[in-house]
Amino acid sequence: MSNQDWPLYPPAFLGILGGGQLGRYFVQAAQDLGYQVCVLDPDPNSPAGQIAQEHLLAQYDDEDALRHMAQLCSAISTEFENVPASTIDFLIQQGVFVAPKSFAVSIAQNRIKEKAFLQSCEALMGIGPVQYACIENKEDIDSVADTLFPGILKTAQLGYDGKGQQTVHYVEELQKAWEVLGKVPCVLEKKLDLAFELSALIARGYDDEVHILPIAQNIHKQGILHLSMVPAPDLNAQLQQHIQVAAQTIIRQLEYVGVLCIEFFVLQDGRLVVNEIAPRPHNSGHHSLDSCLTSQFEQQVRTLAKLPLGNSRLLTPVVMLNILGDIWIDEASSVITPPGWEKILTMPSAKLHLYGKSEPKKGRKMGHINFLAASVDEALEDANKAMVTLGIKPSGK
């Protein structure tokens, strides 16, 4: 076994590319295990940079900063999927262990590549992506099959949380939507009759050890994750088995080391389709900070340090509620007022997590609350009470 195959022991430096809330939780998990962390992020107020031992204020293609990071850190991971693949390759060239590699990240960065990859996995896992077409020019629009309408046109790159998307019902509307999105490469996905949405967080070590966190059932509002419920209320044993097989197939086909999120749709007719992948921990796995023996972030640290993966079994049912910047902002006056957290903290089931972001904005993820209870129904009841208190429209499952 080479030196690179041995675990990295504290107080070694681990690196993280990106300084948002996912990076912040990586830093906390790494420090809990005794590691030091270097964050590279251009924002001087980044949530992860605030608490790391070292914060490199630089762009992701700054080769001087990347060389320094490679010299300091024994291993480096990514916090969000839009880190340039060339940055990952540059760090590997410096001799540092980087996970995940650019091959997997570049697929997740581009919906056209992602759909083609998921299509290629269908024969192995029995589950494919939604019916789709690639739109890169006017000729592609003219040849779109009628069966794809109504559909959702999504930019191939940089869209997230509902951004870079438009619903279209016919060819003329597709043409206009493509022009509005800047005539950039896009994917047109057939709009499906959904029953519910699920996400699987899966961790894979460098030695091919695999662990899947409890599958979450998710509710979105305006393209942004609103609630995650675990155990998933509508998940049956057959669907769970299909998802577990698909998740293991996808992560191994990607030769992926780290934590990967895979989102699935269950249709009204019971069919299962795979929607997309995110090469990082995910918002829908935030419940694991309080509800699982090993959180998604500790798993990310373990994969990076080449340690054995942890047991990620569920300790208690949980509902995770996303907290957006909207609740700080008065609709009429635009005055920013901190929410009354003391009212939330009187609830025995509530675990409040705020991300250290200085400026609340509409649609900006500022934190989340995990509600831990004897059942998902009880946790959801408490989540709805908290929503009323915070001025958020309650949701059922």
Answer yes or no: do 341 and 221 share one domain: yes
- What is the Cα–Cα distance from 136 to 159, expressed in whole angstroms? 16
Answer yes or no: do 354 and 211 share one domain: yes
pLDDT of residue 306: 97
Q: Which tokens in the block code for residue 11?
A: 């107080």
Tokens 């649609």 -> residue: 363
Asked if 369 contacts 380 with a C-beta cutoff of 8 angstroms, the reply is: no
pLDDT of residue 223: 85
Range of 348's domain? 194-390
pLDDT of residue 265: 97
Q: Which tokens in the block code for residue 89?
A: 């390759």
- What is the Cα–Cα distance from 32 to 10, expressed in whole angstroms? 10
Q: For the domain that residue 70 is a member of, what is the CATH number? A: 3.40.50.20
Q: Which tokens in the block code for residue 347?
A: 């609830």
Q: Which tokens in the block code for residue 3?
A: 């030196």
pLDDT of residue 81: 85
Answer yes or no: do 206 and 339 share one domain: yes
pLDDT of residue 219: 97
pLDDT of residue 82: 86
Answer yes or no: do 222 and 185 share one domain: no
Q: Which tokens in the block code for residue 167?
A: 């619903």
Asked if 167 contacts 191 with a C-beta cutoff of 8 angstroms, the reply is: yes
- What is the Cα–Cα distance from 135 to 155, expressed in whole angstroms? 9
Phi/psi at 135 (nearest 5 deg)?
A: -120, 105
Residue 118 neighbours by CB under 8 Å, 6+ apart: 128, 129, 250, 274, 277
Answer yes or no: do 275 and 357 share one domain: yes
Q: For the domain that residue 224 is a member of, what is the CATH number? A: 3.30.470.20
Query: Is residue 118 a part of any domain in this protein?
Result: no
Query: Is residue 74 a part of any domain in this protein?
Result: yes
Query: Is residue 395 a part of any domain in this protein?
Result: no
Answer yes or no: do 58 and 164 share one domain: no
The pLDDT tens digits along the chain (397 residues) read: 344 567 999 999 999 999 999 999 999 999 999 999 999 999 999 999 999 999 999 999 999 999 999 999 999 999 988 899 999 999 999 999 999 999 999 999 999 999 999 999 999 999 999 999 999 998 999 999 999 999 999 999 876 555 678 999 989 999 999 999 999 999 999 999 999 999 999 999 999 999 999 999 999 998 899 999 999 999 999 999 999 999 999 999 999 999 999 999 999 999 999 999 999 999 999 999 999 999 999 999 999 999 999 999 999 999 999 999 999 998 777 889 999 999 999 999 999 999 999 899 999 999 999 999 999 999 999 999 999 999 998 865 5
Total domains, the chain = 3
Query: Is residue 231 a part of any domain in this protein?
Result: yes
Pairing label, strands 272-278, 224-230: unpaired
DSSP-assigned states of every residue in 255-272 = T--EEEEEEEEEETTS-E
Outline where DSSP puts E strands in 172-223: 186-190, 194-204, 210-212, 216-221
- What is the Cα–Cα distance from 15 to 12, expressed in whole angstroms? 10
Answer yes or no: do 157 and 273 share one domain: no
- What is the Cα–Cα distance from 309 to 115, expressed in whole angstroms? 29
Answer yes or no: do 220 and 251 share one domain: yes
Q: For the domain that residue 160 is a member of, what is the CATH number? A: 3.30.1490.20
- What is the Cα–Cα distance from 332 to 289, expressed in whole angstroms? 36
- What is the Cα–Cα distance from 104 to 207, expressed in whole angstroms? 17
Answer yes or no: do 186 and 221 share one domain: no
Residue 183 neighbours by CB under 8 Å, 6+ apart: none
Residue 98 neighbours by CB under 8 Å, 6+ apart: 75, 76, 77, 88, 91, 92
